[in-house]
Structure 1
Amino acid sequence: MQSEFAAKIFGDREDPHVRLQKLFDDFSTTMGAPPSARTWTADVLKKRQIDPKENPDQAVAALRQAYPRLTAKVARYLVDDARMR
């Protein structure tokens, strides 16, 4: 697995689902983001009153600010997942 540091500098090449499983310690086999990551994303965006469908870039920034270990690719993956819900 590519380290978080290397991912932030050289670009994230890791599968977002795999990285999320490790970050959230949720190894469920669901499609898309793990349930704990989905719940966390929904909570963060609700608290900050951000609609991911209207402001996806603002949503990505809010998630990365709330959890700095997220790479841009993983945060975008979470926002895209939230936009489909």
Structure 2
Amino acid sequence: MQSELAARIFGDRADPSERLQQLFDDYSTTMGAPPSAREWTAKVLRDRKIDAKLDPEDAVVALRRAYPRLTPKVARYLVEDARQR
């Protein structure tokens, strides 16, 4: 998988779900975002009173501020996952 530094410089080409598994150290067998990442996303958005369906860009910014290691692509992936729930 592409390193985090390379992703920031050249653009993230890794599968977001794989990168989330690595970042959250959660290699569960579920498809999509790992459960720990989903729970963390819900908590961050709830604490900041952001509705991902109404303010997706604010949600991306909030997630990246809460966890700076997230690339924009992965943060958007988490927001899209939250919007579907």
Residue 76 of structure 2 aligns to which amino acid in structure 1? Answer: R
TM-score by length of 2: 0.98
* Residues in 2 aligned to 1:8 and 1:49: alpha-carbon distance in whole angstroms: 28
TM-score by length of 1: 0.98
Q: Which stretches of structure 1, 4 residues or longer, exceed 6 Å deviation after superposition? A: none
* Residues in 2 aligned to 1:24 and 1:78: alpha-carbon distance in whole angstroms: 13
Deviation (angstroms), 1:32: 1.5
Residue 76 of structure 1 aligns to which amino acid in structure 2? Answer: R
Deviation (angstroms), 1:74: 0.3
Root-mean-square deviation (Å): 0.5
Cα deviations across residues 29-77 of structure 1 (Å, max 9, x unaligned)? 1122100000000000000000000000000000000000000000000
* Residues in 1 aligned to 2:75 and 2:27: alpha-carbon distance in whole angstroms: 18
Matched, 1:49 2:49: yes
Matches within 5 A, 1:64-75: 64-75=64-75
**Which runs of no fewer than 5 residues in structure 2 stay unpaired?**
none
What residue is the counterpart of 1:40 in the other structure?
40
**Which runs of no fewer than 5 residues in structure 1 stay unpaired?**
none
SS of 2:73's partner is helix
